[in-house]
Structure 1
Amino acid sequence: MSSQFPIIVAIVPLLAAPICALFRGTTLPWAITTIISGITFYVSIQLMIAVIQGGPISYELGGWAPPWGIEYVVDLLSGFMLILISAISTGVLLFSRESITREVPDHQLGLFFAAYLLALTGMLGICITGDAFNVFVFLEIMSLSSYALIAMGANEDRRALTAAFQYLIIGTVGASFYLIGVGLIYMMTGTLNIADIAARFPEIEGARPILAAAGFIVIGLAIKLALFPFHVWLPNSYTYAPSIITAFFAGTATKVGVYLLIRFIFTVFGVNYSFGGLELTDILLPLAVLGFLSMSVVAIYQTNIKRLLAYSSVAQLGYIILGIALASESGLMATIVHIFNHAIVKSGLFLSVGCMFYVAGSVYLKDLHGIGRRMPVTTFGFVLGGLGLIGVPLTPGFISKWYLVVASIEHGGVIGYGLVALLMVSSLLAVIYIWRVVEVAYFRDIPEGAEKKEAPLSMLVPTWLFIAASFYFGIETTFNVGIAKATAAFLMGGS
């Protein structure tokens, strides 16, 4: 059975999705989805253990040897992503039993969980497939289900439909760019296998179609991962989607886009071509800096906590891309560490906000006066998560920013030290937008008639699991930093 784990991790949620669609009500589709997600988490852990012990795993679909057949590959980077996606999915689903009944009508819950499993399938498939066209297939599975999941938030706010439509249009443009790039590469190499493309790439890297292909792929993936200034679809999508979808996507969807960007830059194109021929540092570095500075400023002025955290996510993606742009092993390691750390912290924060919405019926700051005294356990969890975004010592945000600072100093010169200063400024901006929530929660009077009660325990426990995990990985960094360091060395070595 363990030899089939690479296919099981993607096929099990895919097969379970239509089963969920047959049921109405909450209990059965929720239970099926949670169990399936838990299975993918277990399988992902086993795959990672196998990779650590024996090296990368190659799985041939249908007995067709690559590059002729489709290949699934699990290495340190893909195994790391499989664990992250399945872990966040399972934690969010444990939270969803109570919250989703508030936000999605009963007759839509079967379809909701079916779409959720399809989104999970797409994310896991993107990370495990070794075929460039198969990436597009899984990308569309993830995207189409994502549009539906966001639109289901229209039960609470009709603007969810507009957000889903906007995401559909922009997401389709990004996917089309990616597909055009893959088509040009196929025209030049005659193969879609990622490892085979990488092996043949040095022979054709000077050709103009390859330059165009690289441009299409990088821009397409930048749109998909919501890199500034291609982020316009993200704030509305996060704001109006159901709470558990916002938490799930904040921790996984954009990270999958970053994974693909890393895979193409460091595995397919190679470090020398990406940062020599394409000069990606000159493109990605200013976009990363503008992203984490401008989006942090925009977050300060938001009146909706979900929207505030959404702009914060775009800013945090700036940190992630900064590590890639530095074109060094330490920079790439900082990127991979922050992918993991930010996913855990932001999922916990959005689940905290989901608890507030469940009780207070709103996530607008004007409706949350005194929420720190009305919901002390929930609000304290939010504050602790906010410390992680700021980068206070003993939190994962501090670990990420520390390695970004180290990578910036290693870069040297005016640019390197200037980046350190800008990272400090961005952290101060994070203090301001987190403090806005703290000020409303603890220093405003409780409105008359507002009840003091917490969210159900079934929602609080998963929320605090994420908050506790964030502090654990901010102190015990063996897994996140250890895997990131080994992965960065592997990718920079070109092996």
Structure 2
Amino acid sequence: MIPTHLPILQVVVPLMAAPVCILLRRPGLCWAWALLIALTTLTMAVGLLAGVLTHGPSAYHLGDWSPPWGIELHVDLLSALVLVLVTATASLVIVYARASFAAEIDPGHHTLAYCLFLLCLTGLLGMAITGDAFNLFVFLEISSLSSYALVALGRDRRALYAAYHYLILGTVGATFYVIGIGFLYMMTGTLNMNDLAQRLPAVAHSRTAVAGVVFLGVGLSLKLALFPLHKWLPAAYSYAPSAVGAFLAATSTKVAFYVMVRLFLGVLAPAFSANLLPGPVSAREMVMVLALAAILSGSFSAIFQSDAKRLLAYSSVSQIGVMVLGLSLFSLDGVAGGLVHMLNHALIKASLFMALGCVFLRIGSVEIADMAGIGRRMPWTMAAFVIGGLSLIGIPGTAGFISKWQLAQSAIAEGWWLAVAALIASSLLAVVYVGKVIEAAYFRPSPAESPSGAPSAPQEAPAMMLAPLWIAALANIGFGLNTTWTLGLAKRAASALMGLPS
């Protein structure tokens, strides 16, 4: 049985711990405190997942106020998986962050950075566990506001522009979301997600309810960075401090995708699947067109980037399209494929961005031209990058292959051959843009090499950066060979969310 107060502690612990970083003042103490809190939340998340697997979903009512009057925290298999994903990533990135923050953030802002990191973690965990649509908006803003500030802490002046751009578009997305929730509340009188799912069918014909769904879709698409609403993402990922970029790339858009799946499949689909956008083009087909456009445009854009972080950022736009493609297939296997790609892509991008952070620490740049010969000077770092890159391409034996294969099978079963072609094209294009980095790292002479071709001196990253990097890299192989804890649980979560037998 899940301990009574474990769900609320999952959110309260990092929320209350964040201001303590400001009081501790010393960066070393702040780092140790943040690491302790991240590991604590990971332990609680694993406990919640074990409880769900053993006893099934559970609900926690704040203040003993039963829904719909009170706020409900709901823990099922899908939310527990997201909790583990976010807390595991946070634990790895915090270990990595000590050296990264020291090199890339002004010393006077270190304590603030750890405080903001824990606040961002709080918001992401709250979004994953809440069962109240407006409470979700509150946690969305907590994570977003802290993310804007974290991006702005980068020493590059372009980080300020990136944070401002992120702030403007993020605020627009949040506004659209809360307007949509307001419209649905007007028609149903409730904000509880389970209650909304029960009451919406009676008012699904109304223009107000349909407008609410459209506002929700646009708002969440902005937060998710779904094409063509992705313009904030490349700059935010490129100019944020490396540890921040790794954490956001692995968690932020993944939690936004989880929210989209939770709301559209668990709350809105029963009422609107037949009513929304009647006519020659269905809502499902519109979402699939956007997903395919994201897959191809993101991949093509990545090819032409000279900055490796920006290359990976555009790759993320493409992979977001892959996740949304699974949702648009609207089948058990398709949704499961989207969910497992959410989990696998988090591992992929965590390893790739952490590898580039190690490179930036040593040479002060992630321009592909400046990375010439870096594979010989930083063999462990670039070996981990290669593993992440192979997983991004979808090479068999890696986590990236599992999710793309699952989605391709589902698309074939549905007769969507264009989707299969887009998945194949994205993998082929990934060969090109990942290959650009690998070619520079291993096949170009380094300016630091002696005339004999030997590197002038070892420049490998510190062990505290390499350890979490290699954990993430090896996880790409582990979950590519054993899919029990990814694809197996994703299928169970998808079937429960869609009301199908597991």
Provide TM-score, normalisation by structure 1: 0.97
Deviations 1:126-177 (A, max 9, x none): 1111111100100000010000000001x2x100000000000000000000
Are 2:282 and 1:254 aligned? Answer: no
For 2:266, the equivalent position in structure 1 comes to 267
Is the contact made by 1:372 and 1:442 (CA closer than 8 Å) also made in structure 2?
yes
For 1:70, the equivalent position in structure 2 comes to 71
Q: How does 1:17-32 map to 2 (within 5 A)?
A: 17-32=18-33
CA distance in 2, matches of 1:111, 1:206: 49
Q: How does 1:322-361 map to 2 (within 5 A)?
A: 322-361=325-364
For 1:372, the equivalent position in structure 2 comes to 375
Is the contact made by 1:60 and 1:69 (CA closer than 8 Å) also made in structure 2?
yes
For 1:52, the equivalent position in structure 2 comes to 53
CA distance in 1, matches of 2:186, 2:90: 37
* Bigger mean CA deviation after superposition, 385-394 or 57-66: 57-66
Q: Could you tell me which amino acid in structure 1 is paired with residue 74 of structure 2?
A: V
For 1:421, the equivalent position in structure 2 comes to 421
CA distance in 1, matches of 2:350, 2:315: 13
Which residue, out of 318, 338, 346, partners 1:315? 318
For 1:106, the equivalent position in structure 2 comes to 107
Is the contact made by 1:64 and 1:70 (CA closer than 8 Å) also made in structure 2?
yes
Q: Could you tell me which amino acid in structure 1 is paired with residue 265 of structure 2?
A: F
Are 2:397 and 1:394 aligned? Answer: yes
Deviations 1:29-79 (A, max 9, x none): 111111101111110111111111111110010111111111100011111
Are 2:474 and 1:471 aligned? Answer: no
Are 2:449 and 1:458 aligned? Answer: no
For 2:490, the equivalent position in structure 1 comes to 484
Q: Could you tell me which amino acid in structure 2 is paired with residue 369 of structure 1?
A: A
Is the contact made by 1:56 and 1:75 (CA closer than 8 Å) also made in structure 2?
yes
Q: How does 1:91-490 map to 2 (within 5 A)?
A: 91-153=92-154, 155=155, 157-271=156-270, 273-274=272-273, 277-278=276-277, 279-412=282-415, 416-448=416-448, 451-490=457-496
CA distance in 1, matches of 2:428, 2:274: 31
Is the contact made by 1:166 and 1:233 (CA closer than 8 Å) also made in structure 2?
yes
For 1:40, the equivalent position in structure 2 comes to 41
Give, in angstroms, the shift of residue 494 of structure 1.
Answer: 6.9
Give, in angstroms, the shift of residue 270 of structure 1.
Answer: 1.9
**Structure 2 unmatched ranges of 5 or more:** 450-455
Q: Could you tell me which amino acid in structure 1 is paired with residue 261 of structure 2?
A: I
CA distance in 2, matches of 1:298, 1:24: 42
CA distance in 1, matches of 2:237, 2:270: 34
Root mean square deviation, CA, Å: 1.3
Give, in angstroms, the shift of residue 274 of structure 1.
Answer: 3.4
CA distance in 1, matches of 2:320, 2:274: 20
* Bigger mean CA deviation after superposition, 60-69 or 234-243: 60-69
**Identical-pair percentage:** 49
Give, in angstroms, the shift of residue 421 of structure 1.
Answer: 1.9
For 2:453, the equivalent position in structure 1 comes to none
CA distance in 1, matches of 2:198, 2:51: 25
Is the contact made by 1:275 and 1:281 (CA closer than 8 Å) also made in structure 2?
no
CA distance in 1, matches of 2:448, 2:390: 30
Cα distance change of structure 1 residues 465 and 290 upon mapping to structure 2, 3 Å threshold: same
CA distance in 1, matches of 2:109, 2:56: 43
For 2:90, the equivalent position in structure 1 comes to 89
Q: What secondary structure does 2:24 align onto?
A: coil
Equivalent pairs, count: 490
CA distance in 2, matches of 1:448, 1:115: 38
* Bigger mean CA deviation after superposition, 214-223 or 62-71: 62-71
CA distance in 1, matches of 2:407, 2:269: 22
CA distance in 2, matches of 1:434, 1:45: 33
Q: Could you tell me which amino acid in structure 2 is paired with residue 79 of structure 1?
A: A
Give, in angstroms, the shift of residue 420 of structure 1.
Answer: 1.3
Q: Could you tell me which amino acid in structure 1 is paired with residue 25 of structure 2?
A: R
CA distance in 2, matches of 1:483, 1:86: 18
Give, in angstroms, the shift of residue 418 of structure 1.
Answer: 2.3
Cα distance change of structure 1 residues 406 and 276 upon mapping to structure 2, 3 Å threshold: farther
Q: What secondary structure does 2:60 align onto?
A: strand
Cα distance change of structure 1 residues 357 and 164 upon mapping to structure 2, 3 Å threshold: same
Q: What secondary structure does 2:73 align onto?
A: strand
Q: What secondary structure does 1:277 align onto?
A: coil
For 1:10, the equivalent position in structure 2 comes to 11
Stretches (4+) displaced over 6 A: none
CA distance in 2, matches of 1:394, 1:272: 40
Is the contact made by 2:197 and 2:271 (CA closer than 8 Å) also made in structure 1?
no
Q: Could you tell me which amino acid in structure 2 is paired with residue 321 of structure 1?
A: V
CA distance in 2, matches of 1:91, 1:418: 38
Is the contact made by 1:271 and 1:492 (CA closer than 8 Å) also made in structure 2?
no
